[in-house]
Amino acid sequence: MSGCFQISASASAPVPRPWPSPRPNTFAICCSSSAENIDVELIGIETSGDRWQGDLAELGGKGAFLKEIDRHLLMGAIDVAVHCIKDVPGDVPMPEGTTFAAYLLREDVHDVVLFPAGSPYRRLAELPAGARIGTSAVRRKAQILRKRPDLHVDRIRGNVNSRIARFDSEHRFDAMVLAQAGLRRIGMEHRAVEVLPLDVMCPAVGAGVIGIQCRTADAGIVELLRLLDDQQTRIHVTAERTMLHGLQGHCNSPIAGHCTTTPDGQLSLLGMVFSREGGQFAYAQEWDTPDHAHELGAYVAATLARKGARQLIAGTAR
């Protein structure tokens, strides 16, 4: 297959223009290694979600990162869209006539802690009472306060580059928590001081996964993108996002979920839902076979609902 097609993403996804990055674009590399004579043009779209520095709920939630890109895809202005799956909302249906034809191999799902230059601290546990922590996610806020209710956790918005720049220049925070995968994509993994264990910080649904979206009618592009699809990642994402959809959480819902494959080949799905301040939470973990990823996700969602998850979600403002 030969030709040229155009891809796009929001500033939160790993496309280097107009948001500079020292790392080559993951998707472009995969395309060039999977098919010959394919030219890929990267088109950066700064979305309303990227520009807005306030509460995402005021823009309609995480869908603010997708609306402009979806419109470009449906109108034919681009052929492919690249998304961080953790930013794809679970309560908004995909545009009709589009599909995620590929999920790239999952990256590191851990969250990490950054400290200002010259800080005497190296771990969250070392911070004194009243220290200020910056993060962009209600999921992280709830889990930090669950362990350390004596800390102050405040919102810091923007893509990874801008968050780090503000963290370094504004001197508002004693530490900042963000995704390890996001740091690696911009070549700044050296800024991570502490890697938070998964039993301390359960990942977001879809953490570390890049999804490649296209129009279902473009059979040739769908076929090409299928070459990039990692089957195990697709299975894990299916379980996690089925759980998320079943819970009907919104962008202000502190929901965490992580699916893995056990050494004996079973799927394990862990799901958690928190109150805003982390004082209350619902927890469920179940197992099933890889061919029942959808059923596993639905079952964990139902288990969480029985344990009060929907009441916790209802208690967080949209």
Known catalytic residues? 87
99 alpha carbon, distance to own chain's centre: 18
| Contacts of 260 by beta carbon, 8 Å cutoff, 6+ apart | 236, 267, 268
Q: By three-state DSSP, how is residue 176 classified?
A: strand
Q: Report phi then psi at 17, rounded to 5.
A: -120, 135
Alpha-carbon distance of 86 to 280, in angstroms, equals: 23
H/E element, 244: helix 231-247
CA angle 127/128/134 to nearest 5° reads 55
Q: Which long-range contacts (CB under 8 A, 24 or more apart) does 268-273 make?
A: 269/239, 269/240, 269/243, 269/296, 269/297, 269/300, 270/202, 270/300, 271/243, 271/247, 271/300, 271/301, 271/303, 271/304, 272/202, 272/304, 273/247, 273/249, 273/304, 273/309, 273/312, 273/313
Residues whose CB falls within 8 Å of the CB of residue 271, separated by 6 or more in sequence, listed in order: 243, 247, 255, 256, 257, 283, 284, 285, 300, 301, 303, 304
Q: What is the CA radius of gyration of the chain?
A: 19
- Alpha-carbon distance of 179 to 91, in angstroms, equals 23
The strand ranges marked E within 27-145 are: 38-44, 80-84, 98-103, 111-114, 132-135
Residues 6+ apart with CB under 8 A from 30: 104, 228
